[in-house]
Structure 1
Amino acid sequence: MAKFEKFREKYPVFTYRSYNINETAETVEIGFKFRIEGLAEFRPSWTFGKPKGVSVKDDLIFERLAFSLGMAEAVSYWKATCSPEFRAECGELSDDQKKWWKKLWFMGLGELFFVNGISADPDSFVNIVSTGSYKSYLSDRVRHPKGCLVPIGGGKDSALTLETLMNSGMDCLCYSINKRRSISGTVKAAGLPENALITAHRHFDRSLVELNEKGFINGHTPFSAIVAFSAEITAYLNGLKYIVLSNEASANESTVVGQDVNHQYSKSFEFERDFHEYEEKYLRTGQYYFSFLRPLSEFQIAKMFVSHKKYLPVFRSCNLGSKVSPDIWCGACPKCLFVSLILSPFLSTEELREVFGKDMLNDPQMLEYFIELIGQSEHKPFECVGSIDEVNLAVSLAIRRIEQEGEKLPLLFEEYKLRGLYHPEDIDALNKECCGSFNEENLLPDEFRKILENEMERLL
């Protein structure tokens, strides 16, 4: 019997037992209790700062926000056994809400199922049961939220969003889950004071790691959904209207060729649209969740980003490097390689070395990742990377630039030419098409669309 079926049979029920809200003058802490019946109990928690004078006592909208964050958090623990029944004892869910959560979990766990060889059915992989009850969570409180909350991850995308909005005169505060040097460095480079960064603290229950070490199911989960719900809470506490993400059109592309498996599902437009509708129907905070960079590709973002060189010394996009302090470019993963490739048309060889601390493009250990990124493998790396087409465009432009400057091509670009992939006659047309594209599948309010279009015209 496969691990998946064995665990489901032995641990048939996962329970979201409760959430509790503890409030002080300066913070709100939300604690959760999850249980895999017969195996383990988990108690993760979050701590959110709040302005003086703000209280969530008897606030039924905040209750709903807290419960929803728990639903997003729970999947990280549920996946250990993939129990066939998920029982929410502390909140009521309509049939439509159950469908919403099942879709998020199934699509967001696509990589986990693929990597672990699990054949999961979208209808039967879990049955969500809610046994709790809720009063109406409509509130008579009058709210007039305003201003922007910009989640900052430390990478180029959120830096570009923040810089563009700041330059347009938008009133912005920044948000992060925990804090890393690249995040605080981005805020500082943008010219904002330290208190412009609002940090929520996520306290992960480490007993899940112990289960992973014992062989229970592990893998990628839809973390950006956690970002979405926690950002909703932060914006609510601080009276902010717009939650401005920095997810791009490239996040919509499947990671596995020919299959609906997307490492970046919770960064996709499909999730953005679904979350936006969920907020309007079930949370009703008056806030507006959207991605400012959704109309753009990673290639366009990279080209615009490099015009703001003040961020080059501080930005980081390496998931492995973010786990050490201070966060670094590890220089050995596909994400580091992707960022190096997408910036390569716009930065000199020396500038790239300064960013990453090594010559990524001459590293033979990067060859396998390179082959995946240019579409010469059955799947892209399971990382937040751009589309195959734009990686090929970036590589082609970089090859042409290097050859025109009379430099020797790096090892990876030599490999590209040996494979017959370099077609200089097509580069200008592809570059023009890519730089001029504007994906209309987006939720940008008109004023933000105008800001982005003006910045594109100025920089592209």
Structure 2
Amino acid sequence: METYLKLREQYPRFFYRGYKIEESKKELKLTYSFETEGLSSFRPEWIFPRPEGDRRCWKRDRLLQELVFSLGLVELVSYWKLTCSPQVVVEAGSLSQEQIDWWKDLYFNGLGEFFYINRINEARLEDFMEIKAGKAQRAAGAQGADDHREAGGTFSGEAGIALRTQERPIKGVLVPIGGGKDSAVTLELMRQAGEKLYAYVINPRGATLHTAEVAGLDAAHRIHVKRTLDVHMLELNQKEFLNGHTPFSALVAFSSILAARLYDLPYVALSNESSANESTVQGSTVNHQYSKSFKFEADFHRYTEEYLPGSAYYFSMLRPLSEYQIARYFASRKQYHSIFRSCNVGSKTDSWCGRCPKCLFVYLILSPFLTPEEMVRMFGRNILEDETMKVTLEQLVGLHEEKPFECVGSRDEINTAIVQTIDRMEAKGRRLPALLAYYKTTGLYQRYKAAGNLYSSYYDEENLVPARWASLVKDSCVNG
């Protein structure tokens, strides 16, 4: 892509200058300092609330310093992507060669959609970015830099540390909430287990707030974090600079274990399911949900074990499950039906737009388990009657090479859910809505009908769910 090559030549260096930690009685404010040389500097911010009565001096906490530094390494990619500068100079801390390789792998795979959509065929793992990281030093205006330890080579442990689930004393579980059905299912499973829960929400909105409330979590058990993007980056996004998807769930990962450190919580329970592993573009590694995949979860586990020892154990409670099973469980939790939201288009108004791929996917995956009347009450309209969404349907079920670039289930389980819905409606003598009637003409109905339901008793053994909760997941969502 001509723009990509031109910008890399014009802006060859990007700097992670440093970070600033400001502590007050109620919060920690983090300000990062990035710069694209010759273009602009950037100062994004994060604000974390402190636990009630917390009097610790966090700037002297070595692990917290490493967590703040690491969060900046994820944050920087949103600013680097403007020009895709070939060299990234990290002045805020140090990294070993193994860490540099880990971060490059995250950036490259996490930006797979970005490269694909922008038609950047020149980007290759070995040379899309060079990371130069020296000894930690006090950046201009940085606080606590004297306590910032060198990350490279300071921790014991073997390279290629084995994946293993961990059992830790239960003080509480931090559950990141996005406002959709998945995090509601994790909350309900943890409530079944009788665990003490804390909701973790970045930039709270209606659905995230309501989900925590319905789960019975009071203000003391809701951790609301504010993330503020730099206005210069937003302005440049509107000009002739590169823009696109970045690995947001990696931000959730690093920021959530930072919050867990502040609140002394030993576990962070995500809500990423098995189908997040499927590529968005058939026959490629391009995955909109890369940082929700098990590869990222496993890589993140290894990284925290090796370089951030003492941090919370990060895992996905729903990793063994399919979207089909999650939808089945969620369908029985009717207290969430009127308040959950997954639509990115309607996120600012806390609504379902009813016309985007995410809305259609959620509608399809829930339809086998709820009546048409219940579905219409949730979404405000019968999306399955909207013939303008035929192409979106075709993308979701695999008639096109690309799935929509959204967090949606696998092609096979979407087809399975559609077959289940059709059979249920026809058994009751109901007329099929337009999209389901069209689906029966594609040949997919016969194929998936013959294959049978492979997802009702599905269980993915490739997961990091601690044993104390793994049996609960099986009993509630697989065997139940």
What TM-score range do you get, normalising by the shorter chain? over 0.9
Find the residue that maps to 2:102 and give its secondary structure.
Answer: helix
- Are 1:135 and 2:152 an aligned pair? no
**2:393 corresponds to which residue?**
370
1:135 Cα offset (Å): 3.0
Cα displacement (A) at 1:144 = 7.3
Residues 91-146 of structure 1 deviation map (CA, whole Å, 9 limit, x = unaligned): 0010000001000000000001001100110110000011332535789xxx9773
Deviation at 1:458, TM superposition (A): 5.8
Q: Secondary structure at the match of 1:418?
A: coil
Matched, 1:449 2:479: no
- Which blocks of at least 5 consecutive residues in structure 1 are unaligned? none
**Paired letter, 1:118:** I
Using the TM superposition, give the Cα deviation of residue 285 of structure 1 relative to its aligned residue in structure 2, in angstroms.
2.3
2:300 corresponds in structure 1 to 275
Task: Please tell me the residue identity of whatever aligns with 1:332.
Answer: R
Cα distance in 1, alignment partners of residues 149 and 367 from structure 2:
56
Alignment match of 1:415 (pick from 431, 438, 448) = 438
Output the amino acid matched with 2:367: S
Between stretches 71-80 and 398-407, larger displacement belongs to: 398-407
The answer for the alignment partner of 2:37 in structure 1 is 37
Partner of residue 129, structure 2: 126
1:266 and 1:180 map into 2 onto residues whose CA distance is: 22
Residue deviations 1:174-224 (CA, integer Å, cap 9, x gap): 101010111111112112223321111001112112111112100000000
Tell me which amino acid in the other structure corresponds to 1:31: T
- Indicate yes or no: 2:224 matched with 1:205: no
Instruction: Provide the rounded CA distance (Å) in 1 between the counterparts of 2:213 and 2:241.
Output: 41
- Aligned pairs for 1:89-108 (under 5 A) are 89-108=91-110
Correspondence 1:218-367 to 2 at 5 A: 218-322=243-347, 324-325=348-349, 327-367=350-390
CA distance in 2: counterparts of 1:335 and 1:14, whole angstroms: 35
> In 2, distance between residues paired with 1:226 and 1:332?
28
Which residue in the other structure is 1:27 paired with?
27
Partner of 1:117: 119
**Alignment partners' CA distance in 2, 1:389 and 1:90:** 45
Deviations along 1:328-359, one digit per CA (max 9) or x if unpaired, are: 11111100100000011111111111111111
Cα distance in 1 between the residues matched to 2:341 and 2:59: 39
Distance 1:331 1:220 in 2: 22
What secondary structure sits across from 1:434 in the alignment? coil
Q: Secondary structure at the match of 1:406?
A: coil
SS at match of 2:217: coil
The alignment-based identity, stated in percent, is 49
Following the alignment from structure 2 to structure 1, what is the Cα–Cα distance between the partners of residues 301 and 260?
14
* Alignment partner, residue 59 of structure 2: 57
Contact 1:252–1:269 under 8 Å retained in 2: yes
TM (norm. structure 1) is 0.95
Deviation at 1:366, TM superposition (A): 1.2
Q: Which residue of 2 aligns with 1:13?
A: 13
In 2, Cα distance between equivalents of 1:136 and 1:211: 34
Aligned CA-pair RMSD: 1.7
Does structure 2 retain, via aligned residues, the 8 Å contact 1:23–1:29? yes
Alignment of 1:43-192 (within 5 A): 43-51=43-51, 52-53=53-54, 54-119=56-121, 120-133=123-136, 135=149, 146-192=171-217
CA distances 1:150-180 after superposition (whole Å, capped 9, x unpaired): 0011000000000111121111111010101
Q: If the length of structure 2 is used for normalisation, what is the TM-score?
A: 0.91
CA shift for structure 1 position 454: 2.1
Indicate the SS of the match to 1:232.
helix
Q: Is the 8 Å Cα contact of residues 290 and 444 (structure 1) preserved in structure 2?
A: yes
Q: Deviations over 1:248-295 (max 9, x none)?
A: 000000000111100000000000000011111111124200000000
Q: Gaps (5+ residues) in structure 2?
A: 137-147, 156-167
Task: Name 2:421's counterpart in structure 1.
Answer: 398
Q: Give yes or no for contact 2:325–2:478 (8 Å, CA) kept in 1.
A: no
- Structure 2 distance, partners of 1:420, 1:58, is 63
Paired AA for residue 96 in structure 1 = E
Instruction: Tell me which amino acid in the other structure corresponds to 1:189.
Output: V
CA distance in 2 between partners of 1:132 and 1:178 (Å): 33
Paired with 2:425 and 2:276, the residues of 1 have a C-alpha distance of 29
Q: Report if the CA contact (8 A) 1:400-1:424 is conserved.
A: no
On the 8 A contact 2:4/2:83 being kept in 1, the answer is: yes
Distance in 2 (alpha carbons) for counterparts of 1:424 and 1:273: 34
Per-residue CA distance 1:288-315 (angstroms, 9 max, x = gap):
0000000001111001110111110010
Residue type at the aligned position of 1:353:
V
